[in-house]
Structure 1
Amino acid sequence: MRDENKKYYNKALDLYNKGEIDKALEVCEKGISLDLKNSNLLNLKGLLLYLKGDLNGAVAAWKINKDYNNDSIAKTYLNDSYKDESREKLFKEAERLVNNLAINEAIERLLICSESDFNMIKVNNLLALCYLRKGDYDNSKLYLNKVLSIDKNNSTAKKIYKEINEFLEVKSNTKIFVPLLLLIFIITAITISYKSGLINKIINREKNELIYEDKSKTENKEEEENNREIKENNKAAEENNKEESDNLKEENKVTPLTNEEIQSNYEKASTYFEEENYKASKDLLIITLNSAENNHLHDDILFLLASSYDRLNEVEYAIKYFDEYLLKYDYGNYSQEAYYRMALIYKDIDINKSKKYAKELADKYPKSIYNNQNINTILNS
């Protein structure tokens, strides 16, 4: 049996080292079900659950090992695990701060959480998300790599990585596209300039020829020809003015924001929001929203705009943008708070709609921190 125990332990450890944490756990479960005396496997199971953030499951595995096998390593793990209860609370607080768009404050708490390996998958994923929202893609990738090193199939990490790569790809294409536009503009300008010069030469040449011919004609004929020249010159001037006017109209069209500008505006608006300058946040986000339709920050911008209106007590617009967010991003990063805010907003306006959003929150996110006394009161009213 000892050889069999060792085989299960080595297989589980090998899977863990390959980033297959869930498969490693399956092997642990199978081995432990055959023999509870496999203390190494019990400790490994506890550690894997510990990394995934299941503190209760980890403690249960180590307690079995301590009680059944009197394992000293399990005792050490148990003694250390009590310190992680505060980190579990800190992580939940960081989640709430991210939902409230207080990214910098969330990072502060998550960095404290990261001092321990407890819950490292969720902690590093949330840190990666925070740095993504701040536009710090290098740091975001750093934390994603930590996740993928132990859980290579982690869907959250892959999703964040995809967002980063899509943005960097667009940015790279923009770098090629902008110089190309500039080159086209220069060539067009040179062509227009050349044509304008040619037209002026033709006009001047015709003018000189007309003047030469006028010398041999009567004074009345000369006046008539001069009038014709003036009309022609005025017509040419009008055409040139029209061309310049058209060019000015093109220049004055609203230019869509670049991805870098969208990112910068979102970061500034987030700072305004954290500083409780909600009007400045709202004004900047309104300018940014139209250009961000296909940007990876569109959901963040939409939710932050709704939240800014909410804090300004501009209920009509808060409802509009929260609704738009839920329509486009149901089960998104901010859906829980969006349902919560809509339930509270409608509480004194339309209790039936308030109940509708409260029920959506309770049904879709039964373990959400937003399923609090406020929601219970609405549902029971």
Structure 2
Amino acid sequence: MDKSKKLYNKALKKYNNGYIDEAINICEKSISLNIKNSASINLKGLLLYLKGDLDSSRKLWKMNWHLNKDRVAEKYIYDSKYDIKKLQMYNIAVKLIKEIKINEALKILNKCKESDFNSINVNNYLSACYIKKGEYERALEHINKVLNINKKNKVALLNKKTLFKYGSSNNIKIKVVPVMGIIITSFIIILLIIYKPFIYKKSTPELSYESKELTTVNKTKEKNKNNNDIISKKELFPYNEIRKEIDSKNFNSIYNYVFKWKDKQLSINERSLLGKAIDILKLESGEYFYSSGCENINNKNYSDAIKELQRACEYGENQWYYPHAVYMLAIAYENTSDVESAIRYYSMYESNFKNDIKDYEETALYKLSLLYKNINIDKSKFYAKKLVSNFPESIYNNSNIGIIINN
């Protein structure tokens, strides 16, 4: 079993034992090792879903569907679209609680709990409402639901303390039973039945077509002759070959043609065809290059991965996969010992995408701290302290970070 799968199993065990945040961190590490690990991507999405982070969950599942064609992820994307309304209802309930309209809030929260989305927050507020109403057994029920998922949840622990203090219920014992949520159970069953690794067929780049010379010239024999006897060579624009590659969507070959001919003097028809080639690269190639780049990383073909991921970034700036491509570029460069480029892309990810997608933020901070260690200790400490401050319970808060901070 590879390391990524072992980490997935460890994450699942952590979740079952009530340590959801640790499970999320381990999933992240598993994904960073193997972007093709659909199980880890789906699990992390589900755990964030339980915590109420609908946007990040859907981004992860969308990534898994586009990258791995995972049918479980596709189902989650479809089902979760109905939770947008539940999030709106939840926000209304919180506002009602602040206005001390407990009964109205309870009605809405009980509708919110019909799915597992935002389960932790919904059950925390339900327990708080029932404590205010003096319905301590019902409050205890919802406290237990939260602690089953997250033993360290501060709100649930505070509600537990409040329950004992004001509920005249010192005989009540809070029992935390490590039971998996229905949604996780169904996830594993479905995964075992239908999951099949999706293997992208990578198109093989073809060599650019070299047109026939207008005149055959023997350079060796004519080298010392009068220049007027030499007929210069001229390369013809490969119109039919480019049109053929556009029709077959051979993105690597199209890219090579565009790179070669975009700055050359062309006729109107040639410029028009090259424009179509550029359009198809902008509209359709980025996801292919991203998938191909990730596949090369998994196969440890880092040079090819860099080439593909750079192309994904060039033609996918506003697409869902763009932050992932930036992060994967950093990994690829790091594995080729190009520290300067690795720092550039880790920094780019950490600066630009941490608020949009949080999949790799902890890892990026950790990597930046380690990479700067022997280059700029002040920057190394900056990223180490930021990691500890923003993610105090992160698995990356290890001895390496401690040494850097105390140096």
**TM-score, length-scaled by structure 1:** 0.47
**TM-score, length-scaled by structure 2:** 0.44
**Structure with higher helix content:** 1
Larger radius of gyration: 1
